[in-house]
Amino acid sequence: MSASPGPLPAAEKLRIESLGIFPVLFPILGAVGLLSAFFLGYLTNPAQLAFSYLFAFAVGFTICSGALFWTLLHHALDADWSVLMRRILETVACCFPVLVLLALPLLFLFPKDLWYWMTKPIGYDVLLDWKRPFLNTPFFYMRCAFYLLFFCVAAFLYRRWSMQQDEDGDPRLTLRSRHVAYGFIPLFVLCFTFAGFDWLMALDFHWYSTMWGVYLFAGAAQSSMALLILITNGLAKTGHFRGLFNVEHNHIMGMLLFAFTVFWGYIAFSQYFLQWYANIPEETWYFVYRNTGTWAYFSIFLVVGHFFVPFLLLITQPAKRTPWRICTASGWVLLMHCVDLYWIIMPNLQLKKARAAGLPPATTGFEPSIIDLLALVGVVGVLAAAFLWLLARGSIFPSRDPRLRESLGVTNWS
Amino acid sequence: MTTPAPHFYGLGAEFSSASSLMTAAEKVRDSGFRKWDVYSPFPIHGMDAAMGFSRSRVSFFSLIGGITGLTTAFILIYYTSALNYPLIVQGKPYFALEPSMPVFFELTVLLTAFGTIIGLLLLTLMPRLHHPVFNWDRFKRVSDDGFFIVLEAADPRFEKGASRRFLEELGGSHITEIFQDAEPQPHPARAEAQGHA
C-alpha cells in the first residue's frame, strides 16, 4: 500500500573496509594494465595498441554515458523508484573527467593508426572527398572537445546538485534537475550519436549506418543498467543499503535490463536487415567481412550471446527477483557488451593489416591479442578506482531527495 | 404454471472501505474458503495477495499462442515463397531468415495476444451476460462506492448460519442471501399467444 511512515533513513557512507581487496585492487589493475599495454604495444605492435586502446576506451565511454543517460532520464520522467540507486548512476557518470584523460592518448597519439581517413590526401577516394566537410581534422577535434565537455559538465552538474541536496534538502534542486534534463537529453543524444560516428563508424569511412547512434546507445544503456545491478547488489551484499534496497528494486532493474536486451536485439537486427535488403556495396561490406572466416563464428556468438542468452536468463519473474540470478545475467551482459565493441572495432585492425600486406581481406580473421585484455583491464581498473573514490566522498544514496520514501516503498504489482 | 424455487447462490456482505475489504479478504483467505469473491468500484493494489491468488495461468495460453504464431509464419513464408511459387526477387534467396524475421515477429506477437485474450476469457469464464450477484439491490453500488464480499454456497466450508456469523465478525453489514435467477418466464406477449393457441 502507501509508503511506510517513520523517519527517513540517514545518509550512509561507503564503508571502504567492507569491500575487501577491491579498493586496492582497482588502482593496481588500472596502473598495471595501462602501463603494460602501452609498454608491450609500443615495443611490439603500435597499431594493435591503438585499436585495443580504442576498444577499452569505448567500453568505458559507453558505460559512463549510459549511466548519464539513466540519470537524465530519471529526472526528466520524475521517476521515484530509482532515487535509491541514483547516486551510483551519478557517480559512474561522473567518471567522465577521468575518461577525458584516458581519451588524450586516443586523440593525440593514435589517431593516424585508427582513423585512416586522416592520413589520406584529397583526391584519394571520391567518397571520402564527399565526406570532407565533416571528416576533416580540425572539425573532428572541435567535435571531440564538445562531446567530452558536454558529458563532463552534465555529469558534474547532476552529481553536484544531488550532493548539495544531501546538505540542504532543497526540493528546488529536484525541479532544476528535471528542467535541465529536458534540454540535456537532446544534447546527450547528439553528442553520443556523433561520438559514435567519429570514433567507431569512421574507422571505415566508406561504411555508414543511420542506426549507428541508436545501436551504440542500446548497448550503452543496457550495459550501464547491468553495471548498476552489479554495484547495488554488491553494496547490499557488503552490508550497505541495509533495510532499504530490496527485491522490488532488483525486479525493476531486471525489467529494464530485459527491455534493453530486446531493444538491442531489435536495433541490431534492423540495422543488419536494412543493409541486407538494400544491398549497397559500401554498406554490406561491414557485414560481409564480419561474416567471413573466423569472424563469422564471432558474429554468431554475438547474436546468441548478446540477445538470446540474456533474453532467456531474464524472461521469468524469479530470474529478476533472485539476486544471484540477476547478477549472473548482468555480468554476462557486460561481457557481451565488450564482445560487441570488440566485434565493431577489431575487424578494422585486421583489414588494416590486410591492406598493408596487400592481401585479400578474407585471409584475415579473429586474432586476439594480450594487449586487448591489458588495455581493457587498465581502463576499467582506472575508472573503477575513480568510481570508488568518488562514491566514498558522500552518501551512497540521495538521503534528502523528496522522492526517497517512494523509492524505498516501491512495489511491483504483478 | 409454477415457478421453481430459486437456487441459493451465496451470502453477500457490504464493507465500508477498501481497507476494511482488504482486511476482511485476508481473513476469508485464511479461513480456507475457495469459492468466494470480492467486488469493489476500482482495482485495489495488493488485493490479489490478500485473496491468496497464486500465479495466473494466462501465460500458458500466451505461450501456446506464440508458438502457433511462429509456426504459422514459418509455414506461410516457406510454403508460398520457396515451395509453391519460387521467384527470384532482387537476387535474394527464395527463403532467407532476414526478410522473414519481421513476419515471424509480428505473427508471434499477434497470436500471443490472441492466446492471452482467449486464455483470459476462458479462465475468467467471460463473457457472461448475467451473474447472480446482480439480483442483490445494494450490489448496484459496486460501481459507485460499495465494497462487497460474496461467499458462495458451493464452497464445502459454507454453512448458512456459521457463514453469516463469520461475515458479521469480519465487520460486514447488510448481509444478504443471494439467489440464482428463477427459470426464465416466457415473454408476456408470447404467453398470451400460447394462451390463444
Give the pLDDT of residue A3. Answer: 47
Statement: residue A1 has pLDDT above 60: no
Burial of A351 (C-beta count, 10 Å sphere; 0-12/13-18/19+): middle
Q: pLDDT higher for A1 or B10?
A: B10
Q: In three state form, how does the secondary structure of chain A look?
A: CCCCCCCCCCCCECCHHHHCCHHHHHHHHHHHHHHHHHHHHHHHCHHHHHHHHHHHHHHHHHHHHHHHHHHHHHHHCCCCCCHHHHHHHHHHHCCHHHHHHHHHHHHHCCHHHHCHHHHCCCCCCHHHHHHCCCCCHHHHHHHHHHHHHHHHHHHHHHHHHHHHHHHHCCHHHHHHHHHHHHHHHHHHHHHHHHHHHHHCHHHCCCCCCCCHHHHHHHHHHHHHHHHHHHHHHHHHHCCCCCCCCCHHHHHHHHHHHHHHHHHHHHHHHHHHHHHHHHCCHHHHHHHHHHCCCHHHHHHHHHHHHHHHHHHHHHCCHHHHHCHHHHHHHHHHHHHHHHHHHHHHHHHHHHHHHHHHHCCCHHHCCCCCCHHHHHHHHHHHHHHHHHHHHHHCCCECCCCCCCCHHHHHCCCCCC
Q: Please, are residues A163 and A86 in contact by the beta-carbon 8 Å criterion?
A: no
**Euclidean distance between CA atoms A90 and A251, whole angstroms:** 21
Specify whether the CB–CB gap between A396 and A241 falls below 8 A: yes
Could you tell me if A202 and A117 are in contact, meaning their C-beta atoms sit under 8 angstroms apart?
Answer: yes
- Crossing angle for the helix pair A212-237 and A247-278, nearest 10 degrees? 160
Judging contacts by C-beta atoms under 8 Å, the chain B residues touching residue A411 are 45-46
- Chain B residues with CB-CB distance to A276 below 8 A: 98
Give chain A positions within 8 Å (CB) of B48: 413-414
The answer to ipTM > 0.85 is: no
**Sign of the C-alpha dihedral computed for residues B15, B19, B23 and B26 taken in this order:** positive
Q: How far is B102 from chain A (nearest CA, A)?
A: 9
**A409 and A403 in contact (C-beta within 8 Å)?**
no
- Looking at per-residue pLDDT, the higher value among A144 and B187 belongs to A144
Q: Which residue bears the cell 557486460? A: A334
pLDDT of residue B95: 92
Residues 6+ apart with CB under 8 A from A77: none
Chain B interface includes A324 (CB < 8 A): no
The overall average pLDDT reported for chain B is 87
Give the residues across from B179 on adjacent strands: B8
Spell out the domain ranges in chain A: 35-408
CA–CA distance, B110 with B118 (Å, rounded to integer):
12
C-alpha separations of B143 from B14, B17, B42 in Å? 13, 14, 8
Residue B187 three-state SS = coil
pLDDT of residue A236: 94
What's residue A201's pLDDT? 94
> Could you tell me if B30 lies within 8 Å of chain A, comparing CB atoms?
no
Provide the CB-side half-sphere exposure for A135 (13 A, CA).
27
Across A128-153, average pLDDT: 95
Distance, CA of A349 to CA of A390 (rounded, Å)? 35
- Residues in A closer than 8 angstroms to B99, CB to CB, are 273, 277
pLDDT of residue A5: 63
3-state secondary structure of B146: coil
Domain positions in chain B are 8-55+129-196, 58-123
- What nine digits make up the cell of A306? 548478446
Q: Which residue of B has its CA nearest to A316?
A: B59
Binary contact (B98, A277; C-beta < 8 A): yes
Q: Looking at the predicted structure, is the pLDDT value of residue A414 above 60? A: no
| Nearest by CB: A413 against B45, B90, B99 | B45
Distance, C-alpha A137 to centroid of its chain: 26
Mean pLDDT throughout B135-163? 89
The beta-carbon neighbor of A273 closest among B46, B90, B98 is B98
Q: Look at the block and give the residue holding cell 515463397.
A: B81
**Confidence grade of residue B195 (pLDDT, cut at 50, 70, 90):** low
CB burial readout A110-120, b (16+ within 10 A) else e: bbebbbbbeee
Instruction: Please give the pLDDT value at position B191.
Output: 63
Please, how many CA atoms are within 13 Å of residue A199, restricted to the half-sphere of its CB?
29
Cβ-proximal residues to A1 (8 Å cutoff; 6+ apart), any chain: B45, B46
Neighbour tally for B47: CB within 10 Å: 17
Distance CA A398, CA A395 (A): 7
Pairing of strands B173-179, B36-39: unpaired
pLDDT digits (tens, 9 = 90+) for A89-131: 999 999 999 999 999 999 999 999 999 899 989 889 999 999 9
Which residue in the set B45, B91, B102 is minimally distant from A1, CB to CB?
B45
- Whether the per-residue pLDDT at A88 is higher than 90: the answer is yes
Residues A281-320: pLDDT tens digits? 889 999 999 998 899 999 999 999 999 999 999 999 899 9
Cell of B141: 453500488
For B161, residues 6+ apart whose C-beta sits below 8 A from its C-beta are: none
Distance from CA of A413 to the nearest CA of B (A): 7
The average pLDDT across B85-113 equals 92
CB pairs under 8 A between A and B: 20
- Residue B99 in contact with partner chain A when CB distance is under 8 A: yes
Does the CB of B91 have a partner CB in chain A at under 8 Å? yes
- Give the closest residue to A106 by CA, choosing from A161, A51, A39: A51
